[in-house]
Amino acid sequence: MSEQNQNPLVLVPESTAKLMKSISGKSKGSVDDKIYCHLYGVVGDWYLSEISEDREKAFGFQMINSEPVWEMDNWLTNSCEWGEIPIKALQELVNEKFLKEKDIRFLITRDLFWEPIKFSAINIEQNTLFYPGTTDRSLS
């Protein structure tokens, strides 16, 4: 396994990106979509099914739920939906805010043991990473 693959702070290494379908622009997201990469942090989870050729954005399901006291609105918007995911911007947050500034709110990591599976097999109601507080993961 290459060093990049072993570093969970490299959000989408090339070997993972090569497995993923290219963004078609027609994707709506469904329970049948295959999820090739799982990213998670204290603010939520990202499940990636497609990626752009330049590797700067992906398509998938994102569940972001930051507490108001965390003051994350400048960087991430709370959501629970399929859509475009800005991989380059997420990687910059990890590099600048987490690694350099040591701000735990920006810890976003890749699940190193993830195996591609259909979205329907994922329990999205279960928090991946717990943070002290009262995070509400309800889907309504």
Secondary structure in 3-state letters for the chain: CCHHHHCCCCCCCHHHHHHCEECCCCCCCCCCCEECEEEEECCEEEEEEEECCCCCCEEEEEEECCCHHHCCCCCCCCEEEEEEECHHHHHHHHHHHHHHCCCHHHCEEECCCCCCEEHHHCCCCCCCCCCCCCCCCCCC
Q: Which of 63, 104, 61 is nearest to 80 (CA)?
A: 63
Higher pLDDT, 80 or 124: 80
pTM: 0.86
Percent of the chain surpassing pLDDT 70: 86
pLDDT over threshold 90, residue 131: no
Return the domain boundaries, the chain.
3-23+30-117
- Using 50, 70 and 90 to split pLDDT, how confident is the model at 127? low
